[in-house]
Chains A and B, each alone.
Chain A
């Protein structure tokens, strides 16, 4: 079967290390998504799996077979490129058939298989067109069809949706998910878009500067980010981060003091934390609720900078004495707040994340 495994995998270009000793195992049939900011090494990693780049050190196994020195063609992988890489002078049919192995049944069999895949992807009526006569979504489907026809053990997809417009992207996302359910092969998907990662992945691998920051199921990453980087990267709008100091460790969580002197509790495992230790408090915008300026029970007093009405919800951007970067809160429904309105924010202890001075998160007490 085709699981993909890295052991201390490294890749350098002219002395710059792009991939730094990765250990990871992607199980057979898994849909793994590599995400990270540009330059994090995710595309390099994909090209290493494809064999388009050579490994500097470490080992790579595909289906328990060491593939370090195997040429791309012998690895049993198929790749969908960001720019689709369709041959510009060949028709859709020729593009689909060009990379296929000769089937035992000869030409007729080949034609039948191409036809089958074309039907699945609704390309029937386009077989004689050239790539430049196709829309972005159609090209995308041809590229995917071509990889299916290779019957690979592992599919590699390099930001396949990034050249499509927003509406088409949503549609293709669903199609990809359906495709994965149907054929059940291992898929490795690279993107910088965390929405794609959240919706498609069985497992997300967050990469940063050539290292794995965290690998896990989408909701695991959302609820329990391992560190500040993942916390900031997953979720939209980004998690709010506030500098704070530990006051005391209690059974209900950790009590911290913010820069304006206000205190609140984060329901996290506080073992090992010392009073006075600098930490970061994190809270997702959708977990914050807004209170009037004179509400005593709320924690954080601040001023409204701007509001963005999204229809189903409203984003309120605020600043205040305890806040370094402006914070945002997502409130259900429509709220009208003038600029400079004084408000208070309530941060429920259960929703708070706490990161120690080296950026690692404390396990939260509830999911």
Chain B
């Protein structure tokens, strides 16, 4: 093995490697590292969006502070906690639905039938549609007066009068979840399908010859074997769902019943111009997401490093 040797050649390669890495690292530090650090710093100041150079250090006042007789700061704002709850609720429900529906569709498409290629392509269509577009499409279909979803439900007799999907506090979260599930299920289907295709085919033939019931095969063979890729897919989707912004912004804008952490932070920062306070919210979001990820990886014992080689 030429490359495994600890030699001059090896040292030369490592040096070249760092050189090749450098441009990417510099760019990432500039567009991710620096803004992140600045955001965290700004969260400790009273910066206004229009005049950020005049910021004063205020410590943790944006997070939590005791003024005369009442608590202030992001962590004392009930609306912040509403948005945290909304985000977590949205993430859990939509990722759960996407995973189960995605897996179900993948199982169907894994069978061989005529026109399978075409059906697989068709299933990908929602994934190709920009989130904003899908949100607008669902906004239109869920329109309270002229929406086709109300029309369908009324024809079938499930509801008597049209529902205000995007305006009603009880329903708007579900409207958001529908739109997200529709748009993102193909991603899960795709990953599940890829995982299913990596399964050893002969095991299934062995199970057929042995007469093992398909349901037992699914729970005892399929599920344990795709658990690892499925968990990774769920992490990716959850991280994506925790930063949800577009679909909510378009469907229900700043409504409290669907406000996510991202919506809250951006509203404080841009609409109310309080860059410091908004940064405190986004920094909190950053740490919450980080904590949840670490917890999930620890609990699920997921190997993210791809270090098999």
User: A residues within 8 Å of B by Cβ?
Assistant: 50-52, 71-74, 77-79, 81-89, 98-99, 101, 146, 150, 156
- Are A81 and B205 neighbours in the complex by a CB distance under 8 Å? yes
Q: How far is the CA of A71 from the CA of B210 in the complex (A)?
A: 10
* 28 chain-A/chain-B pairs, Cβ below 8 angstroms: A50-B209, A51-B208, A52-B205, A52-B208, A71-B208, A72-B208, A72-B209, A73-B209, A73-B211, A73-B212, A78-B209, A78-B210, A79-B205, A81-B202, A81-B206, A85-B205, A85-B206, A87-B203, A88-B200, A88-B225, A89-B225, A98-B212, A98-B220, A99-B206, A99-B207, A99-B209, A99-B210, A146-B210
Cβ–Cβ < 8 Å partners of B202 in chain A: 81-85
Residue of A with least CB distance to B199: A88
Residue of B with least CB distance to A86: B203
Cβ–Cβ < 8 Å partners of B207 in chain A: 98-99
Cβ–Cβ < 8 Å partners of A101 in chain B: 211
Residue of B with least CB distance to A50: B209
Residue of B with least CB distance to A100: B210
Residue of A with least CB distance to B202: A85
- Number of B residues contacting the other chain (C-beta, 8 Å)? 15
Q: Is B221 an interface residue (CB 8 A)?
A: yes
Residue of A with least CB distance to B201: A85
Main secondary structure of the interface of A (DSSP, over half): loop
Cβ–Cβ < 8 Å partners of A79 in chain B: 205-206, 209
Q: How far is the CA of A77 from the CA of B211 in the complex (A)?
A: 10
Query: Which B residues, 169 to 192, have Cβ-Cβ distances below 8 Å to chain A?
Result: none
Q: Is B224 an interface residue (CB 8 A)?
A: yes
Cβ–Cβ < 8 Å partners of B203 in chain A: 85-88
- Are A99 and B211 neighbours in the complex by a CB distance under 8 Å? yes
Cβ–Cβ < 8 Å partners of A72 in chain B: 208-209, 211
Cβ–Cβ < 8 Å partners of A50 in chain B: 205, 209
A52 touching B209 in the complex, CB below 8 Å, given contacts A85-B203, A89-B224? yes
CB distance from B85 to the nearest CB of A (A): 37
Q: How far is the CA of A71 from the CA of B212 in the complex (A)?
A: 12
Cβ–Cβ < 8 Å partners of A82 in chain B: 202
CB distance from B124 to the nearest CB of A (A): 27
CB distance from B122 to the nearest CB of A (A): 24
A73 touching B210 in the complex, CB below 8 Å, given contacts A85-B203, A87-B203? yes
When the two chains form the complex, which single residue of A74, A84, A87, A88 contacts B211, counting CB atoms closer than 8 Å?
A74
Q: How far is the CA of A43 from the CA of B200 in the complex (A)?
A: 18
> Which of B200, B206, B208, B212: most chain A Cβ within 10 A?
B206
Q: How far is the CA of A87 from the CA of B221 in the complex (A)?
A: 7
Cβ–Cβ < 8 Å partners of A78 in chain B: 209-210
Cβ–Cβ < 8 Å partners of A87 in chain B: 203, 221
When the two chains form the complex, which single residue of B200, B212, B224 contacts A83, counting CB atoms closer than 8 Å?
B200
CB distance from A103 to the nearest CB of B (A): 15
**Sample of 10 more A-B contacts, CB < 8 Å, known A89-B221, A98-B212:** A51-B209, A73-B211, A79-B205, A84-B202, A86-B203, A88-B200, A88-B203, A98-B207, A99-B206, A99-B207
> Which of A52, A101, A150, A156: most chain B Cβ within 10 A?
A52
Cβ–Cβ < 8 Å partners of B206 in chain A: 79, 81, 85, 99, 146
Residue of B with least CB distance to A99: B210
Task: Pick the 4 closest A-B CB pairs, nearest first.
Answer: A73-B211, A99-B210, A85-B202, A85-B206
Cβ–Cβ < 8 Å partners of B224 in chain A: 89
CB distance from B58 to the nearest CB of A (A): 55
Q: How far is the CA of A336 from the CA of B220 in the complex (A)?
A: 63
CB distance from A148 to the nearest CB of B (A): 12
CB distance from A294 to the nearest CB of B (A): 58
Cβ–Cβ < 8 Å partners of B220 in chain A: 98
Mask, B229-272, CB within 8 Å of A = 1, is 00000000000000000000000000000000000000000000
Cβ–Cβ < 8 Å partners of B208 in chain A: 51-52, 71-73
CB distance from A93 to the nearest CB of B (A): 14
Residue of A with least CB distance to B223: A89
Q: How far is the CA of A86 from the CA of B210 in the complex (A)?
A: 12
Q: How far is the CA of A150 from the CA of B211 in the complex (A)?
A: 10
CB distance from B113 to the nearest CB of A (A): 15
Cβ–Cβ < 8 Å partners of A89 in chain B: 221, 224-225
Q: How far is the CA of A74 from the CA of B225 in the complex (A)?
A: 27
